[in-house]
Amino acid sequence: MMLIGIDPHKSTHTATAVDPEPNRDLASVRIDVSLDEYQRMLDWARQWPERRWAVENARGLGRHLTSWLLARGEQVVDVPPSATARVRQLSRGAGRKNDRIDAAAAACVAALQGDARPVQPEGSTDALALLDERRSNLAQARVRAVNQLLALLRALLPGGAPRDLSAAKAEQLLESVAPAGPAELTRHALATDLISEVRTCLNGSGAR
């Protein structure tokens, strides 16, 4: 099993392949942080059919790459930065730091010291959480849009509009207004936009 250590940075990632038996650095590649470059790195790694990725700080700077690799069936372990720092201190150079050493250190930690933790791919629970967050965001957006719409209708209609306002009822009320002057015309246009926004929020959240 070949270990491929990843040293992630904001704009670049460095990958180093380490043979765990002799603990030998075999090859290294540096990529920019982009989807095309992720694919280039994966193509490079396929020269070792049996491989595992050891990503330093996989839940931080390496999170996006880690998710991308897991979604493509790759095995990934998370290596804490403190563990790679210990390996660097013990390696030649007495703490000398560069990207290639860091990436190799991550793989060494995963292979030899047992500090790495397997990272599981996202599944149906994660997908449901995303959907739930989306529904919550849409509900909050609808509340904000309805409140803004009610404020506009109070300025356009005598007595305003009822708080339990539907998009259809708001549209009906707005049609009864013949705006005059720039302020009323602007309120009328904004109210029309907000009615469309309320409808979009309702449709997106599955509400009726």
Residue whose pair of structure tokens reads 């493509």 in the numeric block: 72
Do residues 161 and 154 make contact, with C-beta atoms less than 8 angstroms apart? yes
- With a pLDDT cut of 70, the percent of the chain lying above it is 90
CA atoms within 13 A on the CB side of 2: 19
Specify the pLDDT at position 92: 54
Q: Tokens standing for 6?
A: 């990843």
**pLDDT computed for residue 39 by the predictor:** 97
Residue 14 in contact with residue 100, Cβ under 8 Å?
Answer: yes
pLDDT band at 65 (very low <50, low <70, confident <90, very high): very high
**Do the beta carbons of residue 6 and residue 56 sit within 8 Å?**
yes
Distance spanning both ends of the chain, measured CA to CA: 54
Cβ proximity of 194 and 145 under 8 Å: yes
Q: Which of 7-11, 85-89, 93-97, 104-108 has the highest mean pLDDT?
A: 7-11
Q: What is the pTM of this model?
A: 0.65
pLDDT tens for residues 121-148?
777 777 888 888 888 888 888 889 899 9
Lowest mean pLDDT among 7-16, 18-27, 47-56, 100-109: 100-109
